[in-house]
Structure 1
Amino acid sequence: MINSGGNKTRFIVVGLFALVMVFPFYFMVVLSFSPNNATLKYPPQLLPTNFTFSNYVEAWQSNDFQLYFLHSIWVSIISTVLGTIIACGAAFVVSRYNFFGRKLIYRIFLGSMMVPSMTFILPQFKEMEHLHLLNSLNGLILVYTAGMIPFTTFLMKGFFDDIPVELEDAVMIDGGGKWTLFWRVMMPMAMPSLVTAVLFNFMGGWDDYTMALTFINDPNKWTLPIALQLFQGQHSSAWGMVFAASVIQIVPIIAIFIVFQRHIVKGLMAGAVKG
């Protein structure tokens, strides 16, 4: 009976925390389907009044929203692919090869994860300026890629370390090399951790505001998080459109998480715990 009561208490507490976390998103969705004159009503409406899709249509068609959406898609996908491939290779090398400075390199990766990303803005800005990549989507891709590598390396190394050495020996006996071991054995086995890394990397590029605002000055090259400010005026804001645009930005992340949630949980458990 004590355990049953404890389980109920934990369930209630977790349920309350979940409600607190989900309610702001729910309320944003409600307001996104409400006319602008109903978004600031008091008391707040928990269900849409005069349900309408016009906010989504207007948000998608105004302020070059579609262009900014494509910019975010391009930057997030390319940086995720590059960062994940480089980090997986680095994780494999650090996990399977013994060489001078191996531990030091891995500790540098870990140490960089403990430093706030804002600390790197000035050095990265100077480096992009030196490479003539300021105000460029390609420069932003490089910045995002560099930021993705430490965490992905940490996550993937933890999974690679857990793969038995005997499996590697079996591949070598069958005539396979390190390349075969990496691409045809380890990477398929590491799929849960790989999916987790891809999702976190994509989210990092998709949701970033500070880096994009720092490195991109041309409004024609803005990404979606920066473009959302265009829906907020100096004296008034079309809050229905603001919330609709915000929902459009969030939906891809939620959809990806729902589809791959099992892989994400397995990946975090398999890679991060023993890493």
Structure 2
Amino acid sequence: MTAKTSRRALTSLRVVVLIVGAIVMVTPFLYMLSTSFKPQAYVLTTPPQFIPDPFTFDNYVQAWTTQDFSLYAMNSLIVAVIATGLSVLFSSMMAYAFTRFEFPGRKWIFRILLIGLMVPAMMLIIPQFVLAKYFGLLDSLAGLIVFYVAGSLALNTFLLRGFFAALPAELDQAMQMDGANAWTRYWKLALPLARPALATATIFTFLACWDEFAWALTIINSPQNRTLPIAIQLFQGQNATQWGLVFAASVIAIIPVIIVYLFFQRHFVQGLTSGAVKG
């Protein structure tokens, strides 16, 4: 077998593996989408039907109009947008400080920050609940936002620090010689060049805040403060689950995530092509 034939065989094998992996990943989503358009009586048919017959929009209408679903969606949107914005802002400032400033204990502070990546989130539920009770943040959207921001700072700072460290320090020095202070260098130089990393951090943070269930279920008691994951859980009854409603609500919940991903993916590619710097 020649080298050219071997490369072709390896390429074909990679394509087959990617196709199989794509099918495995996409099939559950397609089944969820299909089931969301089925009447309850046809949800659990055997064998599974990927083409709904009969076809209905009743699940979407009922999901959106039942149990203040639109209010819960708005609560999730408010929490996710504010928490994502604050987290990306604070973590980018911290990452820039770790890469561009010398101060006592810098390495140790960064290492302590990274310990947050090693602690499972469920182990922090009780300490977080005690803190939320002490600061009066129970049963409030502010209680969700504060702890979502705190929980995402470590990962975002780690991600952004690596990107800032790869930027040429000479650019900072040139702006500093022109009289630019630290804030100006951070805001007008580092952030525009870091658009790829900022887009990645934004996508992951928004997804984590939008889909979070355990902490929201722990501290939220009032119906007017519930978020979307709790609303979807309410469709699952004690005796029987209306899977059509659950899947329709899940599809509705996925739409904002897809929009955010598509929007920031465009900025991600743009940042790679127009903001790249070699040093």
Is TM-score (shorter-chain normalized) higher than 0.5? yes
The residue that corresponds to 1:36 in the other structure is 40
Higher mean alpha-carbon deviation, 229-238 vs 200-209, is at 229-238
For residue 115 of structure 1, report the CA deviation from its aligned partner. 1.5
The residue that corresponds to 1:19 in the other structure is 23
The residue that corresponds to 1:128 in the other structure is 132
Q: Is the 8 A contact 1:196 1:267 kept in 2?
A: no
In the alignment, the residues of structure 1 paired with residue 260 and residue 182 of structure 2 have an alpha-carbon distance, to the nearest angstrom, of 32
Structure 1 gaps of 5+ residues are 269-275
Of 247, 270, 273, which aligns to 2:251?
247
Q: Does 1:56 align with 2:77?
A: no
Q: Does 1:229 align with 2:229?
A: no
Q: Is the 8 A contact 2:193 2:271 kept in 1?
A: no
- Deviations along 1:46-85, one digit per CA (max 9) or x if unpaired, are 2111222121111111111001000100111111111111
In the alignment, the residues of structure 1 paired with residue 79 and residue 90 of structure 2 have an alpha-carbon distance, to the nearest angstrom, of 16
Q: Does 1:79 align with 2:79?
A: no
The residue that corresponds to 2:180 in the other structure is 176
The residue that corresponds to 1:164 in the other structure is 168
For residue 171 of structure 1, report the CA deviation from its aligned partner. 0.3
Q: Is the 8 A contact 2:69 2:231 kept in 1?
A: yes
Letter in 2 for 1:163: L
In the alignment, the residues of structure 1 paired with residue 264 and residue 87 of structure 2 have an alpha-carbon distance, to the nearest angstrom, of 19
For residue 264 of structure 1, report the CA deviation from its aligned partner. 5.0
Letter in 1 for 2:205: N
Letter in 1 for 2:211: D
The residue that corresponds to 2:242 in the other structure is 238
SS of 1:113 mapped into structure 2: coil
Q: Is the 8 A contact 2:199 2:265 kept in 1?
A: no
In the alignment, the residues of structure 2 paired with residue 219 and residue 14 of structure 1 have an alpha-carbon distance, to the nearest angstrom, of 44
For residue 254 of structure 1, report the CA deviation from its aligned partner. 2.0
Task: Return closer, same or farther for 1:199/1:85 CA change in 2, 3 Å cut-off.
Answer: same
TM-score of the two chains, using structure 2 as the length reference: 0.92
In the alignment, the residues of structure 1 paired with residue 169 and residue 96 of structure 2 have an alpha-carbon distance, to the nearest angstrom, of 13
Q: Is the 8 A contact 2:195 2:268 kept in 1?
A: no
Residue identity over aligned pairs, in percent, reads 46
Task: Return closer, same or farther for 1:266/1:126 CA change in 2, 3 Å cut-off.
Answer: farther
What's the C-alpha RMSD, in Å, of the aligned pairs?
1.6
The residue that corresponds to 1:273 in the other structure is none
In the alignment, the residues of structure 2 paired with residue 119 and residue 89 of structure 1 have an alpha-carbon distance, to the nearest angstrom, of 28
Letter in 2 for 1:225: P
For residue 255 of structure 1, report the CA deviation from its aligned partner. 2.5
In the alignment, the residues of structure 1 paired with residue 185 and residue 205 of structure 2 have an alpha-carbon distance, to the nearest angstrom, of 25
TM-score of the two chains, using structure 1 as the length reference: 0.93
